[in-house]
Amino acid sequence: MPLSVGGALSTLPARGRFLRALAGLAVLSGSVACNPNAQPKPGELRGILLPDPLPKIDFTLANTAGEPFAFRQQTDGYVTLLFFGFTYCPDICPVHMANLAAVLRKLPLRTANRVKVVMVSVDPDRDTPERLRTWLNAFDPSFVGLRGPIEQVNEIQRALNLPPAIKQQTSEDDYTVGHAAQIIAFTGDNRAHVVYPSGTRQADWAHDLPLLVEADWPAQ
């Protein structure tokens, strides 16, 4: 009897410590798993992680209403998806825009409202403000369309490590524009940690956008 009592008494503190440690671990793991502001782990995002995040550059171009749009200032705090394209683009641009619009329509409003899609025209000669607006409205009226001199647009692209747009004559009176196909995703910390190439699917956006919105990237 004494042995059994003694044995029971002697094991209690150890079991208590074990249970306390277990509870602590559970709380810790719970806080990591449930914290919506945690930084996405490598491999968790389906976009391509940049080894060195890109700072959100400061530029001003005209929006489709003809008003100046200060990119850094007017997208501050939003997940901003920046794309360089043109409305005569036959494949990549409309697919990117259609996929983003489809996913934003399905995401919870509080997530969708924290995402801004900005398309900068690489064909300002043909993409008049009206044409650009009509084209973007076909996907989502909230999408921002920007245009400016091609030299300035190319300068912005170079600053983002993107190749400048190249006009390619397809016939005597027609041309197309070769341009970067990826979408750069700036997060709330005003940096881009991830880019989305051509071929990014709706399911990929639906997976990543909530993570990008909720992520808390460490300060620079």
Partner 1 sequence: MTWWCFAQGTAWEWTWRPYPGVWLLAALLIGGYVAALRRLRPPGEPIPARRGQIVSFVLGVLALWLAADWPVGPLGAGYLVSVHTGQYLLFALVAPPLLIHGTPAWLLRLLIKPRPAYHTARFLSRPLIAFAIFNVVLLATHLPTLVDRLTVSQLGSFLMDMTWLASGLVFWWQVLGPLPELHPLSYPARILFLILNVFIPTVPAAFLTFADYPLYALYELAPRAVNLSARQDQQLAGLIMKVVGGLIIFGTASVLFFKWHGMEEREEGRM
* Site of interaction with partner 1 (CB under 8 A): 90-91, 94-95, 98-99, 102-103, 106, 198-199, 201-203, 206
Q: Which is nearer to partner 1, 77 or 199 (CB)?
A: 199
Residue (of 191, 30, 146, 142) closest to 212 by Cα position: 191
Using DSSP's 3-state secondary structure scheme, residue 110 falls into helix
Q: Return all residues near 136 (Cβ < 8 A) that are at least 6 apart.
A: 64, 97, 119, 143, 144, 145
Q: Tell me the two tokens of residue 62.
A: 């005209």
Contact by Cβ (8 Å): 53, 192: yes
- Which burial class, exposed, middle or buried, applies to 107 when counting CB atoms under 10 A from its CB (0-12, 13-18, 19+)? middle
Rounded distance between C-alpha atoms, residue 20 and residue 2, angstroms: 27
**Shortest Cβ 176–partner 1 spacing (Å):** 10
**Shortest Cβ 186–partner 1 spacing (Å):** 24
Q: Tell me the two tokens of residue 59.
A: 């530029």
Q: Which is nearer to partner 1, 57 or 107 (CB)?
A: 107
**Shortest Cβ 95–partner 1 spacing (Å):** 6
Q: Which is nearer to partner 1, 153 or 180 (CB)?
A: 180
Q: Which is nearer to partner 1, 62 or 95 (CB)?
A: 95
**Shortest Cβ 219–partner 1 spacing (Å):** 34
**Shortest Cβ 94–partner 1 spacing (Å):** 6
Q: Tokens 């005003």, residue?
A: 190
Q: Which is nearer to partner 1, 150 or 206 (CB)?
A: 206
